[in-house]
Structure 1
Amino acid sequence: MNSRKRVNCISILAIVSVVVLAALLIPVIWVSKFAYPWADDFSYASEARAVFVSTHNVFKTIAMAFSTMKDSYMTWQGTYTSCFLMALQPAVFSIKLYHLTGVFMLGSILISYYVLVTVLFNKVFKASKSAKWLIYAFTVMLSIEGVDGKAEAFTWYNSAVHYTFGHALFVLFIALVIYYIHDLRNSSKKILHCVLISLIGFLAAGTNNVTVFGGLLTIVILAAMGFLYELVFGEKKYDGLLSALPMGIVYIIGTAVNLGAVGNSKRMVTAGSHNNSVFITVRNSFVLGTEFIKRHFWGMTVAYILIMVAVIWYAFAKENALEGVNFKFKLPGLVTLASYCLLCALYAPFAYLGEAQVSLPYIDENLNVLRVANDVYFEFILLLFVNVLYYCGWLYQKGVRVYTPIFNICVAVVSVILVVTSYKALTVDNQSKFLTGSAIHSIQNGTAEYYGYQMALNIQKLEAEDEVVYVSPIAVDPDCLFPHGAADWKEGTRVF
């Protein structure tokens, strides 16, 4: 009877959490209908759009997008996946399709995180579906709600496909590699699965440099720790690592293709970038990473950690989710240290090319590149999740098996208090601090609708047959739609 009550209780909590997540997404999806192309959206997609307007041939349009990607690779940047998708942005075919940008980008996070959590808690660990859904819902909620740049993350296509979608691709790749090592390498279609996962890895390696560099370090760290684990604590069986080797090699090849592009060096010359020493790069990376953690470790982060502890511990202690798992959770401090170094390393490209002297303006300038901050934030939340999971596994294998509902009640009460107080404190001066709050605020005060109205009028002018048109300045800047880190909107319209 008690077991049935616990099952019912956690099932109800899982349903409620998923409903809350869905409710939080509705205002964001609604406000996305007011999103319009901005800045780089025009420049990257202008040639593909011209082909589609003149021919209405989808295949010729795709071919032109490939051509744009090739030109960008040779003259500007090596992010081949991003450049192709930027050249083929939705407004190439119809301005109305651009309104779905928010849905596409939210969907990429929802799907990739679902695959990751499902692989971990229903494949590797045998947790209940209710526990999985609780972990999934809270992780996604905090990840999407806490991004620094709302438009940059979800409604400005050029930024979102480069960073948000790029991050989602890498998460999907890692999740599928774990699934392959655990299950698929023994299937009759293992070669096909390996090829498909490798393809996803190659695509993931063609996105923004922050994700790609972080992904490369992640793979190297996981491979090194996996090898040392087998050597010291395991049975010295390296078949799992070897089975993942082809996929890892493909990702590394993609990274080399990306970072070694001719256009990257030309871009640095154009931008007048200078290269810092290894010491300065490492030092500044740790300064920026540490400051990022300080600015994003608030009450809601603590509440998330507590909730993850409660749910994961329930899965381990009451559902025996670790039953049959041979992995030994050793040296948790090393995992935390590696996580910290990995997060700081995400700022290495900026530390290498930026100023050498550390100052408050230097820190603010780098941390306020919103599209990059979004990517680092996604990684930050996932690393928190991994560390909580690892420490729970370590304690469980140390023989700590105590479980009491009183603990969960205390966690729930403390978490609610932290969430409420943090929300009030963080939104006193900025009602748009969180994604859904930003969407609701812009809907209530009419800025989202007026923004969409102005943009629609300007697009009509741009689509007119007149040789010279005058677009109106944008009078409002709702955070969930207006990319504050982008070039002026009018600059992009010149090539429309």
Structure 2
Amino acid sequence: MSDRLLSSVLRPLAARTLAAVRRLERVRSERVLAVALVALLAAALVPMVAISAYDHSYADDWHYSVNVHLALAAGGGAASALSAAVAEVIDAFFTWQGTYSAIFLMALQPGVFSEELYGAGAVGIMATLIAATAYAASVLVRDVLGAGRAVWVSVTAGVLLLETQLMPSPVEGIWWYNSAIYYTFYHALLLVMMGLAVRMLRGGSRRGAYTPGGTAVRAVALAALAAVVAGGNFVTALVAALALAGAWLCAALGPQGATRRHLLIVPALVAFALGFTASVAAPGNAARQATQFAGDGLGVLSTLLRSGFAAGEYLVLWTNGLLVLMLALVLPPLVRAAARSSLSFRLPGAGIVAAFALFAASFTPTFFSMGTVGPGRVQNIRYDLFVTLVVICATWVGGWWVRRREAAAAPPGAHTAPAAAPSSDVSHACAPAPRCALTVALLVVLAFGVGALALDERHADDLVAVSAARSLASGEAAAYDAQIRDRIALIEESDAAEVEVPFITTAPKVLFMGDIRDNMANYINFRLAQWYGKDSIIGYHAAL
């Protein structure tokens, strides 16, 4: 009898002690991972921010903002600058493209106030991408999965490391303002829009349910954001249209359809539809297609086929060792959070198919209009979308796997609906004891991999932060900056209406987008000359 009594006391105590140890180990592992990834992200951002001080405007920066610059140079204030920006939107709408909100932001690039401020645009793009990713990750990780702060921080830092360091074209993604504001910035807006839509459909955030007034304010904010995104690049706009409509449809047909929360995002859908229709129907689009891409576009069927094949191609190309390592680091805590959540994670195959279709859809605008995947700036946001979808799908599959194990471990005939806490079998399966040691080991492998890439001359520029750091350390960035400043001084100090300037001979990978030409038969030289009030500015080879 005493043995039974002792056993009845000791077994629960031992179980509670073991559970407490496991929770402590889980928390410690998650914190170690969060601290390590944030430290790595911060170290990567330091040279990226530092090199922005040497950034300079080029080509389309002058093209879309020259009238704003001239209005300010003539002594006009904020009103004249905004008026010139609106005039640029109207002119582009009828002559070049209908992306109204993007053109407005292009016209207000920092260089219109001073070339010294141009690099602030790159810093602003980085800050926007970081904030938007953190917000979207908070909705997914903390609101939907119910995970803690450390997991949220780890996922945010991990995604940002992949997106910022493996960017297909870093100069177009961050440092060339005209491109970065048109693509990377709008990708960030897409993340915020979808995060806000998810919270609206859930009726609140982890802090609690929204009040009627709070709901109304957020509905208006979502509609305004949708109108802005609709006036941006067509790739992001199409992805946003499909994602927003898909979220509305799932909410309307799902178990929570009776709550009618899906009606809250109808104003955003209407605002988006109106804005996107206006952008696509702009007369300037036809003019641009006829002059720049005449005969290049594909038909509907060819576009769909090529988009699907391209999606498969880049799924393979972008699934590299760093992506796998990052998934190995952030997926275990995400799966543990999924195990503790009440979500069912049903039909992971349907989620993967939908994600692939959404990824493939991002290729259709460029194939339809240009017949190709498009330039590096378009690939940047496709890569960002790819990383986001991979993390979501991997979490979904992990959650489905957890639920399968729970169902297998349940007694025959028992109710197998998701529980608030996982069974001990699932806990063992997705959270083995040496979590912290495994996390540290993976971080060491990641550090060695990054270090090897940085030391290998063949791949030293593959990582954006390493490329920026090398340009700073070698003096390449400073030399590029000095040549641009000398050119500006030569133009401003010359009284001649026609000026010749030497070509730029130093080209840091993350800063150099291109140079002017040796003739005036192009818009780049024309806009630069107009910017400085000259009749002609052409380049020449100083060494010849």
Q: What TM-score does the superposition give when structure 1 sets the normalisation length?
A: 0.89
> What is the match of residue 475 of structure 2?
446
Corresponding residue pairs, total: 476
User: In 2, distance between residues paired with 1:485 and 1:94?
Assistant: 20
How far did residue 269 of structure 1 move? 1.3
Report how far residue 416 of structure 1 moved: 4.5
| CA gap 1:338/1:291 in 2 versus in 1, 3 angstroms | same
Mapping of 1:66-215 within 5 angstroms? 66-184=86-204, 186-189=210-213, 190-215=215-240
1:478 matched to 2:484? The reply is: no
Structure 2 equivalent of residue 431 of structure 1? 460
Distance 1:78 1:485 in 2: 27
Which one has the largest radius of gyration?
2
SS at match of 2:212: coil
1:209 Cα deviation from its structure 2 partner: 1.2
Deviation at 1:428, TM superposition (A): 4.5
Distance apart, 1:335 and its partner CA: 0.9
484 and 94 in structure 1: CA distance in 2 versus 1, 3 angstrom threshold? closer
Instruction: Decide whether the 8 Å contact of 2:102 with 2:233 is kept in 1.
Output: yes
Corresponding residue for residue 362 of structure 1: none
Matched letter for residue 58 of structure 1: A
Question: Secondary structure of 2:80's match?
Answer: helix
Pairwise CA RMSD: 2.4
Kept after mapping to 2: 8 A contact 1:69/1:84: yes
- Give the superposition deviation at 1:80: 0.9
Cα distance in 2 between the residues matched to 1:283 and 1:264: 24
Unmatched tracts of structure 2, length 5 or more = 1-19, 407-425, 532-544
SS in 2 for 1:139: helix
The 4+ residue runs of structure 1 with deviation greater than 6 A are: 485-489
Please identify, of 246-255 and 105-114, the stretch whose mean Cα deviation from structure 2 is larger: 246-255
Moved more, 202-211 or 179-188: 179-188
2:432 corresponding residue in structure 1: 404
Select 2:243's aligned residue among 209, 212, 218.
Answer: 218
CA distance in 2, matches of 1:197, 1:61: 27
Which stretch of structure 1 is more off in the superposition, 7-16 or 301-310? 7-16
Q: Does residue 519 of structure 2 align to residue 495 of structure 1?
A: no
Decide which moves more: 96-105 or 270-279. 270-279
2:459 & 2:394 partners in 1: Cα distance? 30
The amino acid across from 1:281 in the alignment is T
Corresponding position of 1:277: 299
Aligned residue number for residue 456 of structure 1: 485
Q: Kindly provide the CA deviation profile for residues 201-232 of structure 1, in whole angstroms up to 9, marking residues without a partner as x.
A: 2111111111111211222333344445x2xx
CA distance in 2, matches of 1:290, 1:470: 48
Call closer, same or farther: CA 1:405–1:260 in 2, change over 3 Å: farther
- Residue aligning to 1:243: 264
Residues 167, 380 of structure 2: 8 Å contact kept? yes
The separation in 2 between residues aligned to 1:288 and 1:462, in whole angstroms, is: 45
How far has the Cα of 1:392 moved from its partner? Answer: 2.2
**Structure 1 portions without partners, runs of 5+:** 356-365
Query: Which residue identity is paired with 2:478?
Result: E
Q: Read off the aligned partner of 1:140 and give its amino acid letter.
A: L
Matched position secondary structure for 2:64: helix
Q: Which letter maps to 1:477?
A: A
| Other structure's SS at 2:505 match | coil
1:295, CA displacement in angstroms? 1.9
Query: Which residue in 2 is equivalent to 1:382?
Result: 388
Matched, 1:292 2:314: yes
What secondary structure, in the 3-state scheme, does the structure 1 residue paired with 2:153 have?
A: helix
Distance, in Å, in 2 between the alignment partners of 1:423 and 1:259 is 46
Q: Measure how far apart 1:281 and its partner are.
A: 0.9
Structure 1 match to 2:289 = 268
Deviation at 1:259, TM superposition (A): 1.4
| Deviation of 1:406 (Å) | 3.5
1-structure distance, mates of 2:447, 2:319: 13
1:417 counterpart = 2:445? yes
Q: Give the 3 Å change call, closer, same or farther, for CA 51–236 of structure 1 in structure 2.
A: closer
Residue 41 of structure 1 contacts residue 492 of structure 1 at CA under 8 Å; is this kept in 2?
Answer: no
Percent same amino acid at aligned positions?
24
Separation of aligned partners in 1, 2:240 and 2:256: 28
* Partner of residue 334, structure 1: 350
Q: Distance in 2 between matches of 1:192 and 1:225?
A: 23
Distance (Å, rounded) in 1 between the aligned partners of 2:105 and 2:91: 14
1:254 counterpart = 2:275: yes
> Any conservation in 2 of the 1:304–1:415 contact (CA below 8 Å)?
no
CA–CA distance in structure 1, aligned partners of residues 374 and 449 of structure 2: 25
1:119 CA displacement: 1.9
2:503–2:515: 8 Å Cα contact kept in structure 1?
Answer: no
Residue aligned with 2:258, SS: coil
Contact persistence 1:75–1:263 (CA under 8 A): yes
Letter in 2 for 1:397: R
Partner-residue secondary structure (3-state), 1:470: strand
User: Which whole-Å CA distance do the structure 1 matches of 2:347 and 2:198 have between them?
Assistant: 21
Alpha-carbon contact 1:119-1:179 (below 8 Å) kept = yes
For the structure 1 residues 418 and 122, does the alpha-carbon distance in structure 2 shift closer, same or farther, using more than 3 Å as the test?
closer
CA distance in 2, matches of 1:4, 1:126: 18
Q: Deviations over 1:155-205 (max 9, x none)?
A: 110000000101111111111111222234841322222111211121111
The alignment partner of 2:500 has SS state of: coil
CA shift, 1:235, in A, is 5.9
Structure 2 counterpart of 1:241, one-letter code: H
